Homo-oligomer: A and B are copies of this chain.
Amino acid sequence: MKAINEELTFYDTASPTLRDGEVLVKVAAAGVNRGDLMQAAGKYPPPKGESEIMGLECAGVIADPGATDREQGQEVGCLLAGGGYAEYVAVPEGQLTPIPEGLTVEETAGVVEVACTVWSNLGMVAGIQEGDRVLIHGGSGGIGSFAIQMCKAMGCEVAVTAGSQEKLEYCRELGADVLINYKEQDFAEELPEWSDTILDVVGGPYLEQNIKALNTDGHLIVIAVQGGPKGTLSLGRMMPRRLSVHATTLRARPRPMKAAIVASTVEHVWPLIEAGKITPNISARFPLADAKKAHEHLDSGANTGKILLVVS
């Protein structure tokens, strides 16, 4: 089969063989994520024992159900530790999702990873509820734009940061209530003790401001450290207000944990997609062979929305 390796080369390789509990999926499309860029840059190796082929999410049809009760020909979305940039991929059954009603198979390829990331953190770690205030950093990014829609669909009040008025306008269209241009404003000064939950992709340099921006019993969840891995934490400020800081990645989780996340995401988030409250925004499509171009497009920073690799 054809696939894309870490050098972003389109090459011939053997189709994957199935391990216990896996099904073989014929890939229709794969989503491109910032994690893929990091992997191609040599900074985000796949977990031990997982595919060396690129690709953290895809959708397609089951070509071989292996020893599972699945049926050949079933259309599925797939959360992957790797291997999505290929004609075929082996997927643990627990990491399969249905195609949400109203979405195409292709569109589903661009939704699985972001939905599981956002839900596992905001839903399962922070436990956001109707009426909560959520601050989302990088609101116009792939994670941010999904998180805005999901939080609004759940009845939360949403503030976002982004680096330009144009990007903030996009966030407003997605439902964001409070817009902060981080190049001109200090979000901690704009929103002191405002946030019940913060979803952060900046890390170290935002840590002190994030603590100031949290409301009593608030949760800060860090899923990327684009600004740097370390920061100063004021435990003294955190104690009387009972704050928590969590940091997570989805990819490194063991399979049973991923299966639990996929199940919970399908239970809680798929209905919001099916009700039209969260709509994927596919901004560009590239053929699988052009993965390098797709990466360059994401890397340029000009993109808002999801980039897909179309495979079959």
Contacts and interface: CB of A to CB of B under 8 A. Distances in A.
Contact of A222 (B238, B240, B246, B248): B238
A67 interface: no
A258 to B, nearest CB: 12
A219 B204 CA distance: 19
A297 interface: no
A235 interface: yes
A192 B126 CA distance: 27
Nearest to A243: B247
Given A232-B230, A232-B233, A233-B230, A223 B246 contact: no
Chain A: interface secondary structure? Answer: mixed
B234 A229 contact: yes
Contacts of A239: 222-223, 225, 247-249
B235 A229 contact: yes
A242 B233 contact: no
Interface string A209-250: 000000000000011010001111111111111111111110
Name the residue in A207, A241, A243, A248 with the highest tally of chain B Cβ atoms < 10 Å from its Cβ.
A248
Given A242-B249, A245-B244, A245-B245, A233 B233 contact: yes
Interface residues of A, number: 29
A41 to B, nearest CB: 16
A260 interface: no
A268 interface: no
A204 B242 contact: no
A230 B235 contact: yes
Contacts of A238: 222, 245-247
Contact of A244 (B230, B233, B246): B246
Contacts of A234: 229-230
A252 interface: yes
Contacts of A70: none
A293 interface: no
